[in-house]
Amino acid sequence: MSETRIHNFNAGPAALPLPVLEEIQESFLNFKNSGMSITEISHRSKWFDDVINDAVARTKSLLNLGDNYHVLFLQGGASLQFAMIPMNLLHGDDSADYVNTGTWSTKAIDEAKILGKTHQVVASSKDRNFCYIPTNIPFNSNAVYAHITSNNTIKGTQWAAYPDTGKVPLIADMSSDFLSRPFDASKFGMIYAGAQKNIGPAGVCLVIIRDDMLNRTPDNLPTMLKYTTHASKNSMYNTPPCFSVYTIQLVLKWLMETVGGLDKMAAINRQKAGILYMLFDKSTFYKGTADSDSRSMMNVTFRLPSEELEKKFIQEATENHFGGLKGHRSVGGCRASIYNATSLQSVQALVDFMLDFEKKNG
């Protein structure tokens, strides 16, 4: 690792694979011998057509998606999807189910409320401060969709297995664990992910939507808020965030060709998370905040014996080139975000630092 680069545990914008950054650096001023930067070429050019089409193809390949799924690159982040989903999919007396597992689930539910859309919160882990993923959820068979947040960045919880919703289409906000593991995408009517946590830089939200969901788009929405608008124009109804899409394309290429696919990525992620959680399980100094059966492989949240020690830990970690370990401002504590691009070596180095810090301060 270069002396100028740190061990990056930021929650988002987060670490990107070093080979991707190096490829961007190498081609930045002269992309594909165009004589222009990727930030200068026209989104109507063949150069960018190749970029976005390859990103779509790689997404479909990694998830075994058929032609009945559309891959879109939209602006407004996952937060805009909180509103676009009920706007596009819920009409009249239609109702949707939501599972509340933390801040981002709550925000999605709030947008449905603001829009006056009928919905049911069928399960919640709010009773224990969102430290677990609910089970045995009574989904409604007549719901238009069931919405979950697959991984909760702030609380450090993750669905180990996705719920069975029967014939009701499942929708998931996968912003912080998208493409971190294999899963059966055919269960989902829609998946969306803000790129800046696990697949790219800020500025774009990747949306996967199935035909039956896309066809629910009403005519009386503003043009830019219709999924059909973006699906019919290959995400180029207006100028897309070209650089962000390009970076995602390179991350997908890295995931397929360097890592070797989702099975191998998941094995690495389990190993990274495993050595951190093993430390917690053996320590009386560090305490994980999530129930053991709901622990996230992406966002490892923990506390120390006192807030004073947490401040000291974060300060000394920063001085030793470990970045991004401060917990979310809404909950405090500490958090190590170990997304795909965060290496096993960085996680092992963090564990070594944590053991040393405990020895000196425990």
Whether 117 contacts 141, CB under 8 Å: no
Q: Are strands 205-210 and 69-74 parallel, antiparallel or unpaired?
A: antiparallel
Type of residue numbered 17: P
Q: Say whether 230 sits in a helix, a strand or coil.
A: helix
Tell me what percent of the chain is helix, strand and coil, each rounded to the nearest 5.
40, 15, 40
Question: Of 203, 245, 261, nearest to 54 (Cα)?
Answer: 245
Whether 145 contacts 122, CB under 8 Å: no
Residue 352: CA atoms inside 13 Å, Cβ hemisphere, count?
Answer: 9
| φ/ψ (deg, to 5) at 270 | -65, -40
Please tell me the distance from the alpha carbon of residue 195 to that of residue 182, in angstroms, as a whole number.
18
Query: For the residues of 280-331, what is the DSSP string, one character each?
Result: HHH-SS-EESS-GGGB-SSEEEEE-SSHHHHHHHHHHHHHTTEE--BPPTTT
Which of the residues are catalytic?
A: 104, 173, 197
The DSSP secondary-structure symbol of 221 reads S
| Tokens standing for residue 245 | 């899409």
